[in-house]
Amino acid sequence: LSRLLGFPFIPTISTKGAGFEKLIDKVIEVFEEKNRVTRHIHINYGKIIEESIKKIRHKIN
């Protein structure tokens, strides 16, 4: 399922605190781009918002 959707699934049980250490480890792994399963997906928000994103990105960089 992770490979199909492009992001990892980590089972957790909040009432027992189970799985949270693995979840944190996976978040760090994905953030540091060590996880090959994760795909970077671009969402098109429409012309006006996309143009605004370009302007903001240009000012930040």
Q: Where are the domains of the chain?
A: 2-60
Tell me the C-alpha distance between 61 and 54, whole Å: 11
Tell me the C-alpha distance between 4 and 15, whole Å: 29
Task: Tell me the two tokens of residue 9.
Answer: 């699934």
Tell me the C-alpha distance between 3 and 59, whole Å: 35
48, pLDDT greater than 90 = yes
Tell me the C-alpha distance between 55 and 43, whole Å: 17
Structure pTM? Answer: 0.49
For the chain, the residue count is 61
Express as a percent the part of the chain with pLDDT over 90.
48
Average pLDDT estimate for 22-39: 79
Average pLDDT estimate for 9-27: 92
